[in-house]
Amino acid sequence: MVKVKICGIKTAADVAVLNRQKPDYAGFVFYPLSKRYVSLIIAARLKKLLDARIKTVGVFVNAPVEEIAAAAERGIIDLVQLHGDEDNAYIARLKRLCPLPIIKAVRVQDENDIKRAAYYDCDYLLFDTYSQSAYGGTGRQFNVQLLSGVNINKPYFLAGGLNAQNVRQALKLAQPYAVDVSGGVETAGSKDEKKIQVFIKQAKG
């Protein structure tokens, strides 16, 4: 069964919702330019409140590897998501400091982007919508059907404009390990429990 990641967790109220709805993953965004940014201090507090069965993913964009290692050492995150321009040399440096599984995000414009993803020495891939002005969180879908035409050599997360209305269709076109949603389960910039509940039901239905 496909797994669900709810990204952009910022508050104790968000955590309470997740504890009730029980997605598989919760994402903390550590990119300071994101509207969903949280500090390591806040994330540490939220992690303590979160059901231990929900794994936490730290989302980083071109961050110093030492910063990621510090989050791992403090037990704030269970997986690392690299959502910037990180290459294999960066991933090798990170692996020397941090033992956690690594998700590498790939922003998709065409099929070639998906094929190039095989280059990354990571544990999981994440396919998101390309934007020239942002590293993620665009709220727009890419052509998910592109994934069905490429042999993908790792389990992958599917992101980019997903919501309860389109996730089932996306899952008919692709076979992701997990689906990743943030804005699609928000109302007025805050996590919406009803939307999360329906999204998880649709994804796992």
Active site residues: 7, 128
CB 180: neighbour CB atoms within 10 A?
28
**Cβ neighbours, 10 Å, residue 132:** 6
Cα separation values, 65 from 39, 58, 89, Å: 16, 12, 11
Strands 3-7, 178-181: pairing kind: parallel
Alpha carbons 124 and 103: distance in angstroms, whole number = 5
Of 109, 131, 122, which is closest to residue 152 (Cα–Cα)? 122
Biggest CA pair distance of the chain? 42
Q: Which residues pair with 102 in a beta bridge?
A: 80
